[in-house]
Amino acid sequence: MRFPLREELSVLKMSNAYSGALCIGGTKSGKLMIWQTTTGQLLGEEEAHYMGVTDLDISSNGDMLITGGKDSKIKVYIIAK
C-alpha cells in the first residue's frame, strides 16, 4: 500500500482503534495527516504546529490524538467516530 505524501514525515504511527486501521503522520513543517490503511486514502490534514511535529499518539480506544511539536506545544484532538 502507498500513501500520498506532500512532504517529509517526522513521525508515523498506526492505530487499530477503528474497524479500519489508521496511519497517522506528523510532518517537519507541523502538519498532521491521517490515512486509512486499507485504502491508502488521505482522510484528513491539519496544521497542528507551527514547527515540526516531534511525537504523536492515539488513545487505546481511538477517541483522542495527542501531538507534540518543536514549538514546545502539546495538542489534544478529540476524534469523531
Check residue 20 and give its pLDDT. Answer: 63
Q: pLDDT at position 15, please?
A: 83
SS3 content of the chain, % helix, strand, coil (to 5): 0, 50, 50
> What is the rounded average pLDDT of the residues 43-71?
92
Residue 81: predicted pLDDT: 63
Instruction: Render pLDDT for 6-53 as a digit per residue (tens, 0 to 9).
Output: 899 999 998 877 666 888 999 999 999 998 888 888 988 999 999 999
Question: Could you write out the DSSP letters of every residue in 36-75?
Answer: ETTT--EEEEEE--SS-EEEEEE-TTSSEEEEEETTS-EE
Q: How far are the Cα atoms of 22, 58, 74, 79 from residue 18, in angstroms, in the given order?
A: 8, 11, 24, 11
**Architecture of the CATH domain 9-78:** Beta Barrel (2.40)
Domain ranges in the chain?
A: 9-78
